Amino acid sequence: LTDACLSEIEGASALNAFVHNTPEIAREQAKAADARRGADAPDMNGVPVGIKDLFCTKGVPSQAASGILEGFRPEYESTVSGKLFDAGAVMLGKLNMDEFAMGSSNETSVYGDAINPWKNDDRALTPGGSSGGSAAAVAADLCLGATGTDTGGSIRQPAAFTGITGIKPTYGRCSRWGVVAFASSLDQAGPMTKDVRDAAIMLEAMCGFDAKDSTSANLAVPNFEAALTGDIRGKKIGIPKEYRMEGMPAEIEQLWADGQAMLKDAGAEVVDISLPHTKYALPAYYVIAPAEASSNLARYDGVRFGHRATLDAGDGITEMYEKTRAEGFGAEVQRRVMVGTYVLSAGFYDAYFNRARKVRTLIKQDFENVFNAGVDAILTPATPSAAFGLGEAKSADPVQMYLNDVFTVTVNLAGLPGIAVPAGTDGSGLPLGLQLIGRPWEEGDLLNSAYALE
Ligand code: GLN
């Protein structure tokens, strides 16, 4: 299986999904898996996976798709990738992504665009972002599963754009240790897979308490696969009216209606709900995420990691920082650092950062209110459209790009689990995804509801 995947990867280099292949490691891990074969073999024994470049992998380039981490080979393994290997998974290589996970199209990567294996005529489409390489690799059968990370939709949006399944677990479910930090209060790792069952198995292998991450939840790991009974009779599914955006394409409306009908047919009760602060989520996210990023990215100083600019005679430490960061960071990352620094500056802290934090609390309370009223899960579209073309209008206008995250960022702000599942196609046959949002720590239940949509 590992050999088959390695040869598929070679044949699909045009997708630019894998940016660093690790065939030696893969073959060694596969051999070890063969030796463990049998009833006692761990859950993911011999399953070939790809690892997003945001995860530190011991001795293997881990660049977060950024020029500033050029040449960085971590001396340690991220907790999540380490857990996957303990469960028998085989690492095929590192996967393309937006630089530092900032983006929704994989176009900010230092490695260049990842390409969606789905095509619309001959137009090259984005696989989404930031976990674009992960999504493209799973959709093109280059691996059986991939790790993703989701700060504002980066697992769910690319999953929807490529017709695969991706779950962002509850904040604190997966350890962030060894995952390059973007916005620490929002970042979560999760699996990207062909279907819900694979997602359940892979999530179980990835998650669990880790003393090295102070926000890791000290909870037992449930058997997520066992939760997939297919029985959702009597479950209450909420349909938030605020997600019915003005100008929403008819095919997204239709997809949403079809999803409601499927859940009803399976015996669920579908109810209208209100999440009144939804419209403030996107602006709050695009204040909080850059603020945290500007602080997290201060560590890339040309001394501790990766790239350092060549200096001119007479340059001091300030020039070293400036030149290194100007060369090492791409335009979107620089934009985020500037926005983040601005909203955190003494004169604007209250007006922007503090305001955004208050809005975040209100958004969280909106969800708590509906869950307290007995709603088990919330159904929404995953994205406002199907995959868009690479290098098109959205790529030139950052605000247009940010609008892509309208259905996903609320979930990160509230720390809730959210899953995207393929649920239909648009007029030209491109995949579309639905999103289900669950109660905190009830990923098993959420996966089971998503299972009913398959
Ligand atoms: N597209 C969002 C952003 O650019 C989300 C990124 C993510 O989830 N990592 O911030």
The predicted pLDDT at position 245 comes to: 86
What is the pLDDT averaged over residues 426-440?
Answer: 96
Q: What pLDDT is attached to residue 403?
A: 86
Tell me: pLDDT of 169 over 80. yes
394 has a pLDDT exceeding 80: no
* pLDDT-above-70 percentage for the chain: 100
* Ligand 1 site-directed mutation target among 405, 406, 413, 435, most atoms within 8 Å of CB: 405
Please state, rounded to an integer, the average pLDDT across all residues of the chain: 97
Q: What is the pLDDT of residue 401?
A: 86
pTM for the structure as a whole: 0.98
Q: Is 154 a catalytic residue?
A: yes
Q: Whose CA is nearest to atom 5 of ligand 1?
A: 152
Name the token pair of 52: 């997003």
What is the number of residues in the chain? Answer: 454
The per-residue pLDDT for range 319-329, each reduced to its tens digit, is 999 999 999 99
Tokens 């030149």 belong to: 323
Is the shortest distance between the CB of 401 and ligand 1 below 6 Å? no
pLDDT at 284: 98
**CA 2 / ligand 1 centre spacing (Å):** 31
The reply to whether CATH 3.90.1300.10 applies to domain 1-454 is: yes
How far is CA 373 from each of CA 248, 249, 254, 393, rounded to the nearest angstrom? Answer: 28, 31, 27, 42
Ligand 1 atom with the smallest distance to the CA of 402 is 1
Catalytic-labelled residue, pool 130, 216, 385, 449: 130
Kindly indicate the confidence band of residue 352, based on its pLDDT and cuts at 50, 70 and 90.
very high
**Any idea where the domains of the chain sit in the sequence?**
1-454
What atom in ligand 1 is closest to the CA of residue 153?
A: 8
DSSP bridge pairs for 237: 270, 377
The answer to whether 109 is a known catalytic residue is: no
Residues 260-292 pLDDT 10s: 999 999 999 999 999 999 999 999 999 999 999
Q: Characterize the bridge pairing of strands 145-150 and 165-168.
A: unpaired
User: Regarding predicted confidence, which is higher, 52 or 38?
Assistant: 52
Indicate whether residue 289 lines ligand 1 (CB < 6 A).
yes
In this prediction, residues 71-80 reach a mean pLDDT of 97
On the question of pLDDT at 194 being above 80, the answer is: yes
- The best mutation among 151, 167, 286 to test binding of ligand 1, ranked by most ligand atoms within 8 Å of the C-beta, falls on 151
Ligand 1 close to Cβ of residue 159 (< 6 A): no
- Amino acid of residue 265: D
The rounded percent of the chain whose pLDDT value lies above 90 is 93
Segment 87-122, tens digit of pLDDT: 999 999 999 999 999 999 999 999 999 999 999 888
Catalytic: 104?
no
